[in-house]
Chains A and B, each alone.
Chain A
Amino acid sequence: MLSVVVFAPLALGLVLLAVPRVPDRVVLWSWVAVSVADLALVVALWIGYDPVSGIGHETNLRWIPTVSAGYHVGVDGLSLPLVAMTAVVFAACAVYSLRERRAVRPYVVLFLLLQTASLGLFVALDLILFFVFFDVSIVAMYFVIAGWGHGERARASALQFFLYTFLGSLVMLLGFIGLYLAGGTFDIVELAASNPLAGQGVLGGLVLLALVVGLAIKTPTVPFHTWLPPAHGDAPAAGSAVLAAVLLKMGTYGFVRIVMPILPESWRQYASVIVIVGVVSVVYGALVALAQTDLKRMIAYTSVNHMGYVILGVGAAGLVAGGAEQARTLAVTGAVTQMVSHGLITGALFLLTGVLHARGGTYDMAAYSGLARPAPRFALLFAVAAFASLGLPGFSGFIAEFQIFTGSLGQAPVATAIALLGILLTAALFLLALQRVFLGATEVPAGRHIGDVTAVEATAIVPLLLLALVVGVFPAFLLEVVEPAARAVVELVAR
């Protein structure tokens, strides 16, 4: 059934390609139907999954036996929440895109391809399978940005995005090949069990370097983040939402799924470097976001900041000497929760900026003022999303960041203290943005009318924020799935 969830969007995409002359409305609604059905299936998978059983819904078929690569998929506490988040975000984007009028069929087909690639990546338990989905997502996103982005600049941004992340993926592939040569297989579960590079200091370090650089480019962390703001700035709203909510998680997910379990020794050895990279991303991302005048680029930089917390958490989990296992488990749980939370909230924020761009034609914050009067519901939604993003208690971001900080404090007190500054900075920048855009006398770009959020847009955005609220108030249903898997990872790292 997992394979059905993964490949249903692709199947619809092929059907849409093959059938001539489908009306645009049918194309859009069929995407909504499939992504909602996919979401329902994921919910069924979640209900049928037993958190203490390890990997569930597993399929393991021979694929390329010559290099021991297989079609091995399954979900556990690390991937299931991300699969669910992906399904939710894509459903929201499908609804949001109902008003898309430009070249609808290729647009929808590309998103369906992205959907399959994203779901497939999170359930992949084989390095080659993981890599295939990783690269397909890059290609599809390139076309989304280049084809439906804003103007000539979008093509340059798309090219930069492609070259940068493609380079990252190939560096990662070299790391995979290193793992294969050491372990004799591409199967993630087998590699994690055999710990092939134990006791091979330099080689382990090199493979770790390749994997970390590859994943850090995708995440992105400072100093590999420079592709992100232009790509977001010029991408269409749904593209940005998917890019930030889902594609960035591929990087951080790679850390907990691949790097930490398979390279425990090297991870422990270099964990302090990871922690520092995380903290720098947190602070630098927040500071640069503070300086932005373009709303969308600002949110893009807050993604660097939020991903920094995740890196801090997974890095702290490698500092075995300093803290109890309980604390490290908490840090990893928080990191996974943060991935889910960031996906929901930033997805909503990018869709909201899309709403603004559709009305006003620009992301420049200076062009707007006092929008709370003409568009009160929009202002309310944006404020909720902004507060959720800055980590207000009651929303998922708070739960995640609280766990990361609590879990990391024992091992890396200084780093954690510095990272706390990031919270302060994000709070300041979101409040500043809210104040600039929504309060004061109403001003809009010349000749534009700012209407309020429509029912379709609200249907896309509100569920994302509601889910962030649900996770924030009743986190148990999520945490009891994540926690056993996080503990397993921590035990693997500590061996």
Chain B
Amino acid sequence: MPKPHDLGGKPHFDPIVLKTTLPVDWELTIDGISSLLRKKGFYLTDELRRYIEKIDPEQYLNMTYYGRWCTAITNILIEKQLIAEDDIQKQLDLL
């Protein structure tokens, strides 16, 4: 069963949307977090890729690029026991 990320040659015939938008604040934040955590040695690029590829196929196709990053980074940090799901929930409750 091919994984959702392995897209080459797949019949996704939506037109290319030529207009691009500049990343908004939360996208800049997760983009920065991703590079920073890698630079600090918390994970390797291919580890992050593996966690992106583990995202449920349907979810993968319906998530934006930075949405996938947020999901994968959260999962990798939880699995490495650097953070716990409760920690994030606590912070979310404070927002």
Q: Do A and B truly interact? A: no
